Amino acid sequence: MSVVVFCGPTIEPAAVRALVPDADVRPPAARGDVLRAMTGRPAAIALIDGYFARVPAVWHKEILWAMSEGIHVFGAASMGALRAAELHTFGMEGVGEIFQAFATGALEDDDEVSVVHGPADSGYRALSDPLVNMRATFAQAANEGVIGVLVARALTRIAKSLPYPERAYDRVLQSASDQPALIDAVAPLRAWLPRGRVDRKREDALALLRRIGELARSGWSRKTVTYQFSRTDSWEALRAEVAAEGGTASQLLRGDGRWSGLREELLAAGQAHDVYAGGRMRAWGLEEARRLGARVNVRAVEAVIDDFRRERSLLEGDAFDAWLREQGLSGDEAVAFFEREAALRNVATRDEATLFDHVIDHLRSSGALGSLLSRAAEKRRDLTTRGLEQGDAEDTGLSLEDLWKWYFVERLGRPVPADLVAFARTQHATLDELRYAAAREYLARGSAARAKCRP
């Protein structure tokens, strides 16, 4: 798996690939770009440079979501250092002196790392000097005796007073030339700068890339976090915005990693419409659960897991473990899945009284309502003509065991569930209602079906 690296004026792509050969190098990050980067399920995302001001900055929620999905996220030097300082307690890894300064509060203002840069065809060439570099440069000049410590502090104050787009060494030295206390320092400093200036941002970016290179060589493990990601309205709006750029949200956010080839298989089987509709309904159900403030505790989740296993005949531990592996579920991800399942079932129970109206509309939308009603009317006429209008299991001549075997194996093409009550619940029915429907279906299929299935 690759590493996505967002960079621009701080460091060039060739330097990135020298330390991380398989890096997917991208321009400075803006809002939504971390979300887009997850298309290929990279092992890690490294944030160095990012937009702000006139372009919305990369959002904290994107980074939190990436980490909750098992992706390592690193930051250094510029926007990466800012976001890492803000999110390191959640698991984002910051690297370098600039990150440390922001994390400890030694630096506080975003403009410390801000620069103006050229367009992509210029290689995002910096057109101003970042204050963090100037601070480090003036301090180094003082350490080497080129200027005094007080002069270094004064020059830093001049640089800080300038708007970040106007920060440049020449501009600072020009201002210093107008001050008697500083004028004597200008000439030696100007002569020293070509060899002595410090590029702190680049140094931190290189440190970050070396760190990633070391981790890549030892092999990536899945990122784990201790927080529960909160899917707010603004987060869903961003997901929708990214999805609207082309393709589906699933393609953009899940398409090429663990789920590679899945959409192709759905299309090949003609199942994509139904599966996406089901996914959409789950999304709406979870949003409704959030709107209602539904809470699921540990006992509720454990009860749902028990029901889930009975419904799918997964009562044996080995069978359940195998099912979890097949579905790509383990650890925290499995817990999160069943928490969502519990929330959905909670909402479904609340909405059961009004749900059938929406079922009717769904059948209308799919074009299936007419044929189902015709089939129901035909069945009633047939059974009434044969004196079986109230037909039930005893009229089939089968034992209950054989009726269930016919219904599940012959009619539905699946094994008989170990827990029929749990299965009936998945069909929004009682066991008696399910038995009645199975018996009448058997009776309506006539003597040929009975001859084939009677023991």
How far is the C-alpha of 356 from the C-alpha of 188, rounded, in Å? 84
The reply to whether CATH 3.30.1890 applies to domain 3-121 is: no
Residues whose CB falls within 8 Å of the CB of residue 227, separated by 6 or more in sequence, listed in order:
64, 68, 90
Using CA atoms, how far apart are residues 232 and 219, in angstroms rounded to an integer?
34
Least confident of 45-59, 171-185, 403-417, 435-449: 435-449
| pLDDT per residue as tens digits for the range 249-270 | 334 333 334 454 565 566 666 6
pLDDT above 70 covers a percentage of the chain that reads: 83
Least confident of 164-168, 208-212, 330-334: 330-334
Over 80: is that where the pLDDT of 414 sits?
yes
Taking CA atoms, 299 is separated from 338, 343, 352, 396, in Å, by: 12, 13, 22, 42
d(CA 78, CA 9): 10
Instruction: Answer whether residue 455 shows pLDDT above 70.
Output: no
The Cα 46–Cα 20 span in angstroms is 11
Q: What is the DSSP string of 270-297?
A: T-HHHHHHHHHHHHHHHHHHHHHT----
Q: Where along the chain do its domains lie?
A: 3-121, 124-200, 262-366, 382-453
Question: How far is residue 326's CA from residue 330's CA, in Å, rounded to a whole number?
Answer: 10
Confidence of residue 235 (pLDDT cuts 50, 70, 90): confident
Most confident of 21-25, 281-285, 330-334: 21-25
Give the lowest-confidence range in 62-76, 282-296, 402-416, 434-448.
Answer: 282-296
Say if strands 23-26 and 3-6 run parallel, antiparallel, or are unpaired: parallel
**What is the predicted pLDDT for the residue at 272?**
66
More confident of the two residues 199 and 266 = 199
The answer to whether the CB of 422 falls within 8 A of the CB of 428 is no
What is the pLDDT, as a whole number, of residue 158? 94
- Residue 315: both structure tokens together: 């009562």
Core vs surface per residue 201-224: b (16+ CB within 10 A) or e:
bbbbbbbbbebbeebbeeebeebe
CB 89 within 8 A of CB 252: no
Stated as kind and residue range, the H or E segment containing 74 is strand 72-75
The per-residue pLDDT for 451 is 44
Question: How far, in Å, CA of 77 to CA of 87, rounded?
Answer: 15
* Type of residue numbered 315: L
Say whether pLDDT at 229 is over 50: yes
> How far, in Å, CA of 81 to CA of 59, rounded?
14
pLDDT reading at 74 higher than 60: yes
How large is the average pLDDT for residues 358-387? 78
Q: Pick the closest to residue 308 from 417, 215, 217, 405 (CA basis).
A: 417
Compute CA distances 282 → 79, 279, 344, whole Å.
35, 5, 7
Q: Is 416 left (phi over 0), alpha (psi -120 to 50) or beta?
A: beta
pLDDT at 156: 94
Rounded CA gap, 59 and 121, in Å?
Answer: 26
pLDDT tens for 202-213 read 999 999 999 999
Report the candidate in 162, 85, 152 with the shortest Cα–Cα distance to residue 129.
Answer: 162
Question: Which of 35, 94, 51, 45 is closest to 71 using CA atoms?
Answer: 45
For helices 183-196 and 149-161, angle between their N-to-C axes, nearest 10 degrees: 80
Residue 146 scores a pLDDT above 90: yes
* The pLDDT of residue 305 is above 90: no
Nearest to 10 by CA among 41, 50, 67, 39: 50
In this predicted structure, what is the pLDDT of residue 446? Answer: 54
| Residue in 263, 333, 259, 255 with CA at minimum distance from that of residue 38 | 255
